[in-house]
Amino acid sequence: MNITSDVKDAKLTATVTIPAADVDAIIKKAYKAAAKQYRFPGFRAGKAPRPVIDSALGKDAVLAQATNELIGSNEGNVLNELDIVPVKEGDYQEIDLCADGTDYTYTVEFTLRPSAELSSYDAVEIEMPPAEVTEAEIDQQVDMLMGYHATFEDVERAVEGSDYVTVDIKNVANAEALAGEGRVIAMGAGHLPKEFDEGLLGMNVDETKTISWTPEVEGAEEASVEVTVKGVKERKLPELNDEFAKTNFGFDGVDAMRDAVKLEIESDKSSQLPQLKENRCVAKLAERLQLDEMDEDYEQSVFQELGQNFLQSLSARGMSLDGWLQANRISSEDFIADLHRQANDVARESLALDALARELKVEVSAEDVDGEFERAGIEDVEASKAQFVADGRMPAVRDSIRRSKAVDWLVENAKVTEVDEAARAAEAKAE
């Protein structure tokens, strides 16, 4: 197989030539399949000669089948040879029928993900929590535990930023999922649009107001609801003392409880900080991507992959998408919009890592590929590699390795400023 290619405007046009010997083998296979599939009077199954098959089915029909097989069986090899991961199916242009004893040449166009540059290739600067446990982090965890014993008291005042508010919500426009009576809203929880929380602030019991906002999705229409406040509750925490710690948490006292919380946070940090650092480094790098608007085809391919992964996750837990949406009170429109936002973020991060890998001139060796399969726990690496090549999935493996190497460089060279984020959050809340 011989391949020549040309790339222009994120479109790769490849001209593929398959040797006559391979063409003859595929045509022979097609005739053999036709002889087995159809009944030809006077001949046993699979024994009808080509002239009989041509007369009964038409020569072009068999050659069309052979041509489809010829192109389809070679697509994985073409993708592997070109080392590309198209964002959609190839566009096969001006396909002619193959013929005996002749090389077969065809042209296919693949849409590639965009290639963008970064505004800077210097090491990123990020903030990270300290490796050591801070008192503010212990306080934060203790407050969370105490929250399980919180009580809620009715108050006769206007809604404040930390209240729990019972409301009746009527849909005015494009907000069907929020409508309902007796809904309890935790102020500042971040589950609803910030305009909704801001609209509730200062409202009194039995007061009605119309709150409007526009979802942060391109092309989204303004949403609007009519809200009536039915009740306002203030969250009260009990006093934490040695007796309370012993009775409700099983510790000898407050100090013992805080020591136990510290050990738990230390364990969490040891396992979570490396991934947190990686995530923040990649997110910071993506901010440098010089791409005003994401390519629709690439965003859609990432969207479909994220959606498929999410559905597989739900299926593994024995849940349907409709059931999950109802349980979380999320409309299908909001779910799709959020998934598109995630896809856009993932696409930008991937393109940023691609740009960094190009700048670093990252290479992928055969040993790197073998290691990727071995780490996946695959026993017969060679057989799996051969299948990946046949399916056209090997370029995606190499892409993943290149990005992983770029991430390793990014994390290793990041300039980190340690910040006690729990203390900062506590100060902001106090203000």
Q: What is the pLDDT of residues 204-227, one digit of tens each?
A: 999 999 999 888 776 778 889 999
Q: How far apart (Å, rounded) are the C-alpha atoms in residues 202 and 425?
A: 23
Dihedral class, residue 366 (left if φ above 0, else alpha if ψ from -120 to 50, else beta) = alpha
pTM exceeds 0.85, yes or no: no
pLDDT band at 84 (very low <50, low <70, confident <90, very high): very high
Kindly tell me if the per-residue pLDDT of 345 is higher than 80: yes
Query: What's the token pair of residue 373?
Result: 């399969």
pLDDT band at 190 (very low <50, low <70, confident <90, very high): confident
Query: What's the token pair of residue 236?
Result: 């009260």
> What's the whole-number average pLDDT of the chain?
92
Kindly tell me if the per-residue pLDDT of 320 is higher than 80: yes
Check the CA dihedral 135-138-140-142 and report its sign.
Answer: negative
Decide: 224 and 209 in contact? Cβ < 8 Å. no
**Rounded (5°) CA angle 227-233-238:** 155
Kindly tell me if the per-residue pLDDT of 167 is higher than 70: yes
pLDDT of residue 189: 78
Decide: 20 and 103 in contact? Cβ < 8 Å. yes
Kindly tell me if the per-residue pLDDT of 237 is higher than 70: yes
Q: How far apart (Å, rounded) are the C-alpha atoms in residues 356 and 361?
A: 8
Dihedrals phi, psi of 412, to nearest 5 degrees = -65, -35
**Considering just the CA atoms, what is the radius of gyration of the chain in Å?**
31
Residues 6+ apart with CB under 8 A from 193: 213, 215, 223
List Cα–Cα distances, 13 to 5, 86, 123, 399, in angstroms.
5, 12, 36, 20
pLDDT in tens, 122-150: 999 999 999 999 999 999 999 999 989 99
pLDDT of residue 278: 97
pLDDT of residue 292: 87
127, β-bridge pairs: 417
Q: How many CB atoms lie within 10 A of CB 214?
A: 13
CA-wise closest residue to 258 among 108, 141, 363, 357: 141
How many Cα atoms within 13 Å fall on the side-chain side of residue 380? 5
CA-wise closest residue to 163 among 192, 185, 136, 139: 185
pLDDT of residue 144: 92
CA-wise closest residue to 413 among 272, 269, 273, 285: 285
pLDDT in tens, 355-398: 999 999 999 999 999 999 999 898 899 999 999 998 999 999 99
Give the mean model confidence (pLDDT) for residues 181-209. 89
Quick one: DSSP state of residue 232? E
pLDDT band at 188 (very low <50, low <70, confident <90, very high): confident
pLDDT of residue 68: 94
Domains by residue range for the chain, with CATH: 2-112 (3.30.70.1050), 151-236 (3.10.50.40), 265-430 (1.10.3120.10)
pLDDT of residue 431: 65
Decide: 153 and 234 in contact? Cβ < 8 Å. yes
- 3-class SS of residue 207: coil
Could you tell me the end-to-end alpha-carbon distance of the chain, in angstroms, rounded to an integer? Answer: 70
Q: How far apart (Å, rounded) are the C-alpha atoms in residues 25 and 94?
A: 23
What is the DSSP track for 239-255?
P--HHHHHHHH--SSHH
Query: What's the token pair of residue 297?
Result: 């085809």
Query: What's the token pair of residue 243?
Result: 């007796």
pLDDT of residue 27: 94
Kindly tell me if the per-residue pLDDT of 241 is higher than 80: yes
Give the mean model confidence (pLDDT) for residues 53-76. 92
Dihedral class, residue 377 (left if φ above 0, else alpha if ψ from -120 to 50, else beta) = left
| Residue written as token pair 């589950």 | 191
